[in-house]
Amino acid sequence: MTTTPGGVGRIRPRRLRATPAMRRLVAQTRLSPAELVLPVFVHEGLDEPRPIAAMPGVVQHTRDSLRRAVAQAAEAGLGGVMLFAVPRVRDAVGSQATAPDGILNLAIADAVAEAGDALVVQTDLCLDEFTDHGHCGVLAADGSVDNDGTLVRYADMALAQAEAGAHLIGLSGMMDGQVGYVRDALDEAGRTDVALLAYAAKYASAFYGPFREAVESQLVGDRRTYQMDPANRREAALEVQLDVQEGADVVMVKPALAYLDVLADVAASSPVPVAAYQVSGEYAMLEAAAANGWIERRRAIFESVLSIRRAGADHVLTYHALELAGWLAEENR
């Protein structure tokens, strides 16, 4: 092989990095708006959107501003929206989660009416926003979360969300057997058309902190008895396998950035599409560092979501979805 005096041979990888056009041509991972899902919060009884202090740029929506956000998401070509709701009244069993006039079910109907077939309207199926104790399920007499009793509530929630028009129901509570129980309930009600997103590998993470403010969480204690231990990698494979066997149409890894190894494992083996959630704490860290001038904001946001796609996510839930879609549109002009 002919070499230069410096010992460099004919193989020069830098040739494929020489220009923006060349880098675009050979890029191995790409982003498009259709792979992005925007999480949104709607708060019962608000007269105007309310900023969330820990998540600069994100708000608790009114029903009217939610519709506008959904319209923007559709116009931007996003893949979907994920709806979370904050009720005014909470109780031990999360009654407002299943009330036809509960804020989440009204928001689902609003979003579906606004988006039509332009977006996948995804919904959070969990009790934590609706309970006065803040846990993701109903409590047993000893104060522990009652797994099987919670499944009954989840089935009722799924039927209410399906009736409101949800396209993809996100089971985020990490109860054993939740996917199969909800799938059976939907099928028995003739709702075989409604798809299920299983938060299959959801870890008990410190990165959910700002989300707790966003939904005004009432939680005392933690969720380590049902969400996964951050120390465990292989356990995610079991959780995914069980959820797929029970009928999950899509599986999720959450959080995303701190669990890219888990995401890559799941993506390599899952027979169904894989989602990943760039959670509130990950969003807040990027925004805080950028606000202090420590990172270049646009590049860091783009790179962080690209890394999640590169690890294997088919689509990404991110609070930066609308902004990213705008940047991608600029690049493609």
Catalytic residue among 135, 202, 223, 320: 202
Structure tokens at 41: 């919060």
- pLDDT class of 333 with cuts at 50, 70, 90: confident
Q: Is the pLDDT of residue 189 over 60?
A: yes
Instruction: Average the pLDDT over each of 41-45, 231-235, 328-332 and give the range with the smallest value.
Output: 328-332
pLDDT at 3: 57
Q: Is residue 202 among the annotated active site residues?
A: yes
Residue 245 lies in a domain: yes
Phi then psi for residue 121, to 5 deg, are -85, 110
- Work out the burial of residue 270: count CB atoms within 10 Å of its CB; fewer than 13 is exposed, 13-18 middle, 19 or more buried: buried
> Is 22 within a domain?
no
**Distance (Å) of CA 315 to CA 119, 225, 256, 312:** 13, 28, 11, 9
Distant-in-sequence contacts of 42-46, Cβ < 8 A, 24+ apart:
42/66, 42/83, 42/84, 42/85, 42/86, 42/103, 42/104, 42/107, 43/85, 43/86, 43/103, 44/85, 44/86, 44/87, 44/88, 44/103, 45/88
Amino acid at 258: A
Catalytic residue among 167, 254, 315, 320: 254
Return the percentage of the chain with pLDDT > 90, whole number: 93
Confidence of residue 221 (pLDDT cuts 50, 70, 90): confident
Distance (Å, whole) CA 287 – CA 221: 27
Number of folded domains that form the chain: 1
Please indicate, yes or no, if residue 2 is contained in any of the structural domains: no
Q: What is the model's pLDDT at position 8?
A: 67
User: Considering the domain boundaries, does residue 4 fall inside one?
Assistant: no
For β-strands 50-51 and 59-61, DSSP reports them as antiparallel
pLDDT over 90 (residue 176): yes
The phi, psi pair for 30, rounded to 5°, reads -130, 155
- Parallel/antiparallel/unpaired status of strands 36-43 and 80-86: parallel
CATH code, domain with 265: 3.20.20.70
pLDDT tens digits, residue range 39-90? 999 999 999 999 999 999 999 999 999 999 999 999 999 999 999 999 999 9
**pLDDT score, position 140:** 96
pTM (predicted TM-score) = 0.95
Answer yes or no: is 10 within a domain.
no
Tell me what pLDDT residue 7 has.
Answer: 64
pLDDT at position 92, please?
96
- Can you spell out the DSSP letters for 157-183? HHHHHHHHT-SEEEE-S--TTHHHHHH
Task: Judge whether 9 lies within some domain.
Answer: no
Radius of gyration for the alpha carbons in the chain, expressed in angstroms and rounded: 21
Residue 219: per-residue pLDDT: 85
Number of Cβ within 10 Å of residue 118's Cβ equals: 15
The residue with tokens 């839930």 is 317
Residue 248 lies in a domain: yes
194 contacts: CB under 8 Å, gap ≥ 6 = 158, 161, 162, 166, 167, 168, 169, 186
Q: At what angle do helices 147-164 and 178-188 cross, to 10 degrees?
A: 40
Could you tell me if residue 3 is inside a domain? no
Instruction: Give the pLDDT mean for 249-262.
Output: 98
E strands present in 74-194: 80-86, 120-125, 168-171
Per-chain mean pLDDT for the chain:
96
Range of the domain at 229: 33-331
- In the predicted model, is pLDDT for residue 299 greater than 90? yes
Average pLDDT of span 147-164: 98
Summarised one tens digit per residue, pLDDT across range 88-138 is: 999 999 999 999 999 999 999 999 999 999 999 999 999 999 999 999 999
Task: Tell me how far apart the alpha carbons of residues 257 and 261 are, in angstroms, rounded to a whole number.
Answer: 9
